[in-house]
Amino acid sequence: MEITRKEFMDLGGKAMLGATIAPSFFNFLDAPRGFIEDILASPRIKKIHQYIEDHKTEHIAKIQSDLRQPSVSSWNMGITEMAERMKDSFKQLGCKEAELVKTDGLSGVWAWYDAGAKKTISHYMMYDTQPYNEKEWSSPPLAANLVKMDPFAQVLIARGAINDKGPNRAFLNACEAIIALEGKLPLNIMFTCDGEEEQGSPHFHQVLAPYHDRLKMCHAHLGAGPSQNREGFINMSLGNKGIAYVELECHGKTWGRGPQRMPIHSSRKAILDSPVWRLVKALSSMVDEAGNKILIDGYYDAIVPPTEEEEMLVNTLIAKFGDKLFASERENVKVWAHDWPSAEAIRHLMFDTSLNIDGIWAGYTGPGSATILPEKAAVKMDSRLIPNQVIDEQIKLIRQHLDKHGFSDISMTKLGGGDEWSRTSVKAPVVQAVLSVYKHYGIEPAIWPRAAGSSPQAQYTRPPLNLPACEGGLGHGGRAHAVDEYLVIDGNERVAGLVKMEQSIVDILYAYANWPE
Amino acid sequence: MEITRKEFMDLGGKAMLGATIAPSFFNFLDAPRGFIEDILASPRIKKIHQYIEDHKTEHIAKIQSDLRQPSVSSWNMGITEMAERMKDSFKQLGCKEAELVKTDGLSGVWAWYDAGAKKTISHYMMYDTQPYNEKEWSSPPLAANLVKMDPFAQVLIARGAINDKGPNRAFLNACEAIIALEGKLPLNIMFTCDGEEEQGSPHFHQVLAPYHDRLKMCHAHLGAGPSQNREGFINMSLGNKGIAYVELECHGKTWGRGPQRMPIHSSRKAILDSPVWRLVKALSSMVDEAGNKILIDGYYDAIVPPTEEEEMLVNTLIAKFGDKLFASERENVKVWAHDWPSAEAIRHLMFDTSLNIDGIWAGYTGPGSATILPEKAAVKMDSRLIPNQVIDEQIKLIRQHLDKHGFSDISMTKLGGGDEWSRTSVKAPVVQAVLSVYKHYGIEPAIWPRAAGSSPQAQYTRPPLNLPACEGGLGHGGRAHAVDEYLVIDGNERVAGLVKMEQSIVDILYAYANWPE
């Protein structure tokens, strides 16, 4: 499935390596596909596009309705209600099957839309969101208000607006438009939905397992939704990194030293050990002075060199876009680690693992001072994984490091745990179909070998399912995981609004439905 | 003023060093003072004691009333209201002067009770409290409910019950009883009150400064209130340690690396520096692996050896009480640092400095997981100081350490800052008077060269005032700084309740008023 260096050269890689002609990611498109242009320009598709435009108000209202239903997995808030909503949506769409799937954690959802078509796709939705601190938001995270937000004419502000409840509903809106005019979708869809994605999808394998035999029959795993960034630019990822997420706690009771049951007056520090200092020491032993090189024995051992195709994609990214790839992050980032130029940073973002502290806490953290020696201290950490790192193996190495350095009493709890790394070749028909839609719109994407973030995609792309996977589409949203998360409803000359977003979803479904395998 | 080794031997030190006769802390009492016994057993004092017993219900109500007025300095909650209350109480007592004293922070209070007596004492009150998390309390921290709490017949649960609003009001109750029967107190009192003690008294010097010339005229700084522990035992301290309290923050913006304005998605860790790791590294550099030895250059340099008197007191503590000194902490402490036996721990508690983490925080600290690379991390630290460490000098050493290790961007804010170490000799008349009252009750205290905690006492005992200082009395309260803080109202056979507490305050005032200087 992977493109070879020779093929890359044939497709334009040579031009990239030369000095005068810029390569294009469209060179990764196998061949001109005139028939796709014919389909996308056909009156049938135009009619569906018009239908979407005519039903814009209704489509917005449906998105708002979903966003006003909270579904914060880390607070276990509204998850069941949201799962029921998803089920009802699938039923309304005309799915033959639509049901909640019990797991050891929060419920998932399964649905099956049978168009009687030759081709079947697997489509994933996550319906939980990150938590939020309402006080910090300019518009309440559950209000789903429409507001003006420069440089966009109108956005919808809500937790889940872009990650992923807004896009989920936009996908269903597009499907409903097709069915309203065509009677059915151009392909069959197996929907599988996770309510614990923000927890690292700890039980999503239990959602998929009962349907493995049926999911195997899919031709591809396809996502369609807003993929433009703030500038209208599209980053297309052919996979993602894995993530290991753990919480460590140092407690006096477990340690057998320091305060055993509760904080003690800080004057006792002169004669009493501190679990906080101990956690600081344990953490400090894990990384170098700069906090970037991981000093845990064997942590890098499982990593294999990038494939030729990955190297080609990254080379193309660097040659063609350079600094622009990180443009949207410049307000929050001054310099990359090691003062890497963006070109170097892209390479490391793709090909390096990492160890991050997501949160740390102990004792009194309010205003002013309180004089206590805390009985415990804790930290949340995540590590992003690349081929061939395996979550449980990396966690085992952290445990071994702690034990080896005398910290065997420090407890470690695995949080999440379903998201291994994933990758699909650029040559897979499903990728080619999405690329052809971008070409139709004249928007050249940047193709990344993988996203730096994580998703449960590996559960589709790696054994036992082994599906090629891709996602794409026009439209934009931002501030996922942060305050004032938004979805663009009316964009600008570069960024598509909701109507065009839903239209591009229609295009992608038809392009892949008609793509020869 | 200090007792010599020879004097100690004369007073019973020799007996202590022998094997058969246990020494007594009463050996530190200069000579039998029969006249004190006569005074304390006199009908006048007995009448005052009876008056206190008759007014118990009223006295409890007055304490409750003060405790129901919140006064949390770190939240700036209720401080002005409480200051006004203090002022009104002093006026009601008959103080010639009673006024709020403005500072750069929260107001202090000054009051002057002129009995026309020969002797004048300085008396200190703090009227702020630690913060609280109401949810954790068995009885609301502002309700000041009377409840049964084993092994005591009845206690009052409230924030400030023992530290120090309950004892403050008990002192005033005792004074009011004396005045009701005698017309006036046996000595003059200059009251000075701090509303920021729990912040380390950052502005208390501004409360004292305008009254320095008058406070110099005092014969001693005397406190009287509940001094028994849970078992009825009394630890008497002849001073206290100093405290340096700082907050450090590592922020991407100041550092010029990592996220600059807000948390970023944790996938960026592969190419972005982390202020959290940086703070961990900075902290780790300050202490040894065990978290006990301070590795900051020069941190121990200012420390001078204990005086002979201090050594004698500690030797007596160890010989006479040993493990019992820490009995009340055994539910929360299994082993001391370095596995020190209690004898060794007492010595280190008295004669060692310390560096403690009171709180640390960064990023997401709630339930479940959130994947962020925080833009900042912060820590609250305190260091307990002994002769001749000086707060600002020790803080300067921490700053120099950070700078030397390349952490000059890590900001440091001094919190509190008024509490230097303090000490008074056991031979001071004010100490002798308190000791004589204990002897009268047949309760032998343990005399510590200093408390391990801190207080603004140094502002009275060191230049420019140079007053000898002491405090004592019967009664008990506990859980200062913790949940379910309490004051014993009705005790048991070992622990005095409120009535006896107030009676002992009367005794101490009369003993010192009549003590020959």
Per DSSP, A336 falls in state: -
Task: Place B19 in a pLDDT band, splitting at 50, 70 and 90.
Answer: very low
pLDDT at B461 over 70: yes
Bridge partners (DSSP) listed for residue B478: B486
- B192-230 as b/e, with b when 16 or more CB fall inside 10 Å? bbbbbbbbbbbbbebbbeebeeebeebbbbbbbbbbbbe
CB distance from A455 to chain B under 8 Å? Answer: no
State which fold the B23-240+422-514 domain adopts: Aminopeptidase (3.40.630)
Q: How far apart are CA A482 and CA A476, in angstroms?
A: 16
How crowded is residue B439: how many other Cβ atoms within 10 Å of its Cβ?
19
What one-character-per-residue DSSP string does A165-226 give? HHHHHHHHHHHHHHHHHHSS-SSEEEEEEES-GGGT-TTHHHHHGGGHHHHTT-SEEEEES-
Chain B segment 329-358 residues within 8 A of A by beta carbon are 329, 331-337, 340, 345, 348-349, 352-358
Residue of A196, A267, A339 to mutate for B, most B C-beta atoms under 10 A: A267
Instruction: Give the residues across from B294 on adjacent strands.
Output: B287
* A35–B contact, CB cutoff 8 A: no
pLDDT for the residue A7? 55
**Is the Cα torsion angle A309, A315, A321, A325 positive or negative in sign?**
positive
A199 in contact with chain B, both atoms CB, cutoff 8 A: yes
User: What is the interface size between A and B, counted as CB pairs within 8 Å?
Assistant: 319
Name residues 383-422 of chain A within 8 A of B (Cβ): 384, 415-416
| ipTM of this complex prediction, to 2 decimal places | 0.83
pTM of the full structure: 0.82
- Which residues from B are below 8 Å from A331, CB to CB? 260-261
- The C-alpha R_g of chain B, in whole angstroms, comes to 24
Distance of CA B517 to CAs B119, B173, B189, B428, Å? 10, 28, 17, 9
A319-362: per-residue pLDDT in tens? 887 777 788 788 999 999 999 998 889 999 999 999 999 999 99
Sites in chain A below the pLDDT cut of 50? 1-2, 11-22
- Dihedral class, residue B473 (left if φ above 0, else alpha if ψ from -120 to 50, else beta): left
Domain A242-303+353-415 CATH (choose: 3.30.70.360, 3.30.420.40, 3.30.70.1560, 3.40.50.300): 3.30.70.360
B364/A357 touch (CB, cutoff 8 Å), yes or no: no
Question: Which of the four pLDDT bands, split at 50, 70 and 90, describes residue B327?
Answer: confident
Which residues does chain A have within 8 Å of residue B200's beta carbon, measured at their own beta carbons?
Answer: 369
CA A448 to chain centroid: 13
B117 lies within 8 A of chain A by CB? no
A259: chain B residues, CB-CB within 8 Å: 332-333
Task: Give the β-pairing of B152-157 and B486-490.
Answer: antiparallel
| Predicted confidence band of residue B378 (pLDDT cuts 50, 70, 90) | very high
* pLDDT tens, residue by residue, A217-237: 999 999 999 999 998 999 899
Question: B412-440: per-residue pLDDT in tens?
Answer: 999 976 689 999 999 999 999 999 999 99
Decide which of B321 and B124 is more confident.
B124
On chain A, the residues whose CB falls within 8 A of the CB of B415 are 368-369
Averaged pLDDT, B171-188 = 98
**Which residue of A lies nearest to B276 if distances are taken between CA atoms?**
A357
* Three-class secondary structure of residue A418 per DSSP: coil
**Are A132 and A477 contacting, i.e. CB atoms less than 8 angstroms apart?**
no
Q: Does B451 touch chain A (CB under 8 A)?
A: yes
Residue type, B283: L
pLDDT at position A20: 31
User: What is each CA distance from A267 to B148, B199, B245, B378, in whole angstroms?
Assistant: 29, 15, 12, 21
Phi, psi of A168 (to 5 degrees): -55, -50
Range(s) within chain A of domains with CATH label 3.40.630.10: 32-240+421-514
Distance, in Å, from the CA atom of A106 to the CA atom of A95, rounded to the nearest integer, reads 22
Q: What is the mean pLDDT of residues B54-76?
A: 97
Q: Measured between CB atoms, does B230 come within 8 Å of chain A? A: no
For residue B269, list chain A residues with Cβ-Cβ distance below 8 A. Answer: 354-356, 382, 384
Amino acid B24 reads S
All residues of chain A having their beta carbon less than 8 Å from the beta carbon of residue B482 are 262-263
Confidence at residue B4, expressed as pLDDT on a 0 to 100 scale = 56
User: How many Å apart are CA B479 and CA B149, to the nearest integer?
Assistant: 13
- Per the DSSP assignment, residues forming a β-bridge with B245 are B382, B415
Q: Which residues belong to CATH 3.40.630.10 in chain B?
A: 23-240+422-514
- d(CA B195, CA A32) in angstroms, rounded, equals 79
* Closest-CA distance of chain B to residue A345, Å: 6
By C-alpha distance, the chain A residue nearest B291 is: A277
How far is it, in rounded angstroms, from Cα A90 to Cα A294?
45
Facing residue for A453 by CB, picked from B259, B265, B334: B265
Closest CA to A515 of A119, A49, A45: A119
Q: Is A372 on the interface with B (CB under 8 A)?
A: yes
Whether residue A387 is preceded by a cis peptide bond, meaning omega within 30 degrees of 0, is: no
Mutate to test the interface with A, among B136, B369, B455 (most CBs of A within 10 A): B369
How many Å apart are CA B184 and CA B43, to the nearest integer?
17
Burial class, A413, CB count within 10 angstroms (exposed 0-12 / middle 13-18 / buried 19+): exposed
The CATH homologous superfamily of the domain defined by A32-240+421-514: Zn peptidases (3.40.630.10)
Interface contact flag, A270 B353, Cβ < 8 Å: yes
Q: Kindly state the tokens that stand for A460.
A: 């589709």
Dihedral angle sign, alpha carbons of residues B421, B426, B427, B433: positive
CA distances from B225 to A330, B221, B473, B502 (A): 61, 14, 5, 8
**Which residue ranges does chain A devote to CATH 3.30.70.360?**
242-303+353-415
pLDDT tens digit sequence for B81-115: 999 999 999 999 999 999 999 999 999 999 999 99
CA distance A423 to A229: 22
Chain B residues near residue A366 by CB distance under 8 angstroms: 74-75, 131
Q: In this complex, which of B130, B337, B369 lies closest to A74 when CB atoms are compared?
A: B369
Average pLDDT for residues B461-482, to the nearest whole number?
95
Burial B290-307 (b: 16+ CB within 10 A, else e): ebbebebeebeebeeebb
Q: How remote is the C-alpha of B194 from its chain's centroid?
A: 13
Query: What is residue B18's predicted lDDT score, i.e. its pLDDT?
Result: 35
Mutation for testing the A interface, residue in B248, B277, B288 having most A CBs under 10 Å: B277
